[in-house]
Amino acid sequence: MDKKKLKILIIGDDLNNSKDFSKIINDALPGTKIYIALNGPQGIKLAKNNEPDVILIDVSVSKVNSLKISQILKKEEDLQSTPMLFITDLEDDREFRIEALKAGAEAFLIKPIEDTILITQLKAMAKVKERNILIKNQKEQLESLVKSRTLDLKNEIVERKKLEMDLQESEEILKTYIEKAPIGIFVTDALGKYVDANEMACQLMGRNREEVLKLSITDFLTPSQLDKGLEEFHELMSKGFLDTEYKVRKKDNQEYWISLRASKINDNCILAFCVDISERRLSEERLKRLHENQEIFSEELAKKNKEISLRLQQTINTISKIGEMKDVYTAGHQRRVASLACAIAREMKLPEEVIDNISIGALIHDIGKINIPSDILNKPGKISSLEYQILQGHVENSYEIVKAINFPQKVIEMIHQHHERLDGTGYPQKLVGEQIITESRILVVADVVEAMMSHRPYRAALGIDSAIDEITMHKGVKYDSKVVDACIKLFRERGFSLPE
């Protein structure tokens, strides 16, 4: 404090007294800036303009004026931290001191005053101002922090309410899906008593929901199935999962077969799914009776398999064409990729089962593009970063579509991985090395080569030489070395060409 040059404002209507105070201060604290005011208005103006460290008020003449001056000064925001030292010769005027404290006085000195006491008090008052400013700043910081946190909490409450509403809406949608599901879904407790059932489950039991919730699983089984049902229910409670078939009956005693899959959610909750398989069981019984005539049976079975295979192929071709109808510039892309991918697989001497899976996956690997806006797919110029991110989403879209279909797992994986790269620079999972299956590695190379050899809205076809340069340059880094070698051999030595 001694190093800082103080600013002192002296307010009093006795100029001689003010000059005496000024001399004492300058002698003790050289360099101190002293302002003298002979009346209230002048003192208030000097205080506003100079913001002194201490205001010294001489009240020897007018107590009323000194109190008014103090009150006015304390109302000024910039002066609220400035301490006021009252100098008075009224030692026993207790009532005045109380009024002065109310008006903003921090301390009093009684005339006559020793110089050292005056200087010590002024230094103390200057420290009071520093303390007041510090407290004011801390208060403002605290108020700002409280305001900020309050705003954050309000925003958090709003966001939480929104999330709760979204969750409630999602729960309602899920509940509707379950209720309207085309298979029976029901819940039982640990004793096998029905706790809930959707519409289809009630239809299968031939009862309304109110009736179903009064029953247990034993009321649903035919007498011949009771022992099996009880035994497997105990097995479900111990192992946590059950996959079985039962002969059951409706309320009118009509009997039929169901396939049932159940999982133990917790010690008192079983979730089960069931479907009517009566037709399938009848078909199986018919096939049993046809067993004696093996030749007829084999021919019929082969015919069925051929039909199923043909329908599957037709379905896959249809799915493939659906995606290509959206993207006119890649029409036939999946078919050509499938042709090249299968040829690579045969060159690598992979089993026919693997080649079949590659054919299926390649024919529909871009089906997710049906969810990509056409103006992005067919944009003739360079696409933006955001558009590229949207375009990349076709991989996840494809995966979400095919995983709901009963395809071999390898088919689903290769579709999910067909933009991955060995060095981890691909997407969407950023897989590396052995995390990428062989089928995907083949599809990746075939996809790149076909794309570079074909016309795109943003460029002309680059040709086979550029495509081979691309896969050769990144061989063993982005693309599998064996796959690249097989692909190059097809074009350079086997005379392979892509179908039109």
Domain boundaries, the chain: 7-137, 184-285, 298-492
Q: What is the pLDDT, as a whole number, of residue 1? A: 44
9-13, 283-287, 466-470: range with lowest mean pLDDT:
283-287
Single-letter code of the amino acid located at 14? D
Single-letter code of the amino acid located at 110? I
The whole-angstrom separation of Cα 5 and Cα 337 is 86
Higher pLDDT, 77 or 429: 429
The whole-angstrom separation of Cα 322 and Cα 325 is 5
Q: Would you identify the CATH topology of the domain 298-492?
A: Hypothetical protein af1432 (1.10.3210)
Q: What is the pLDDT, as a whole number, of residue 298? A: 59
Residues 173-232 have pLDDT tens digits of: 777 777 888 888 999 999 999 999 999 989 888 899 899 999 998 888 999 999 998 999
* Exposure string over 180-201, b if 16+ CB within 10 A, otherwise e: eeebbbbbbeeebebeebbbbb
The residue written with tokens 């879209």 in the block is: 397
For the segment 34-62, the average pLDDT, to the nearest whole number, is 83
The whole-angstrom separation of Cα 274 and Cα 242 is 12
Tokens encoding 121: 């008090």
CATH superfamily of 7-137: Response regulator (3.40.50.2300)
For the segment 49-57, the average pLDDT, to the nearest whole number, is 88
Q: What is the pLDDT, as a whole number, of residue 307? A: 62
Query: Tell me: domain 184-285, CATH 3.30.450.20, correct?
Result: yes
User: In the predicted model, is pLDDT for residue 61 greater than 60?
Assistant: no
Q: What is the pLDDT, as a whole number, of residue 339? A: 93
Sign of the dihedral through C-alpha 41, 46, 48, 54: negative
Single-letter code of the amino acid located at 425? T
Which of 11, 1, 147, 141 is closest to 67 using CA atoms? 11
Q: What is the pLDDT, as a whole number, of residue 383? A: 80
CA 226 to chain centroid: 49
Q: Is 449 exposed, middle or buried (0-12, 13-18, 19+ CB in 10 A)?
A: buried
With contact defined as beta carbons under 8 Å apart, do 50 and 7 qualify? yes
Q: What is the pLDDT, as a whole number, of residue 328? A: 57
Q: What is the pLDDT, as a whole number, of residue 446? A: 95
Tokens encoding 184: 């029976």
CA 385 to chain centroid: 21
Sign of the dihedral through C-alpha 342, 343, 347, 352: positive
Which of 338, 206, 348, 189 is closest to 269 using CA atoms? 189
Q: What's the pTM value of the predicted model, to 2 decimals?
A: 0.41
Residues 339-387 have pLDDT tens digits of: 999 999 999 999 999 999 999 899 888 888 888 887 777 777 788 888 8
User: In the predicted model, is pLDDT for residue 404 greater than 90?
Assistant: no
For the segment 451-478, the average pLDDT, to the nearest whole number, is 88
Sign of the dihedral through C-alpha 191, 193, 196, 200: positive
Residues 84-140 have pLDDT tens digits of: 888 887 665 677 777 777 777 778 888 888 888 888 888 888 888 888 888 888 888
Q: Are strands 84-88 and 54-58 parallel, antiparallel or unpaired?
A: parallel
The domains spanning 184-285 and 298-492 adopt the same CATH topology: no
Question: Which H helix or E strand runs over 68?
Answer: helix 63-75
Which of 296, 324, 267, 291 is closest to 454 using CA atoms? 324
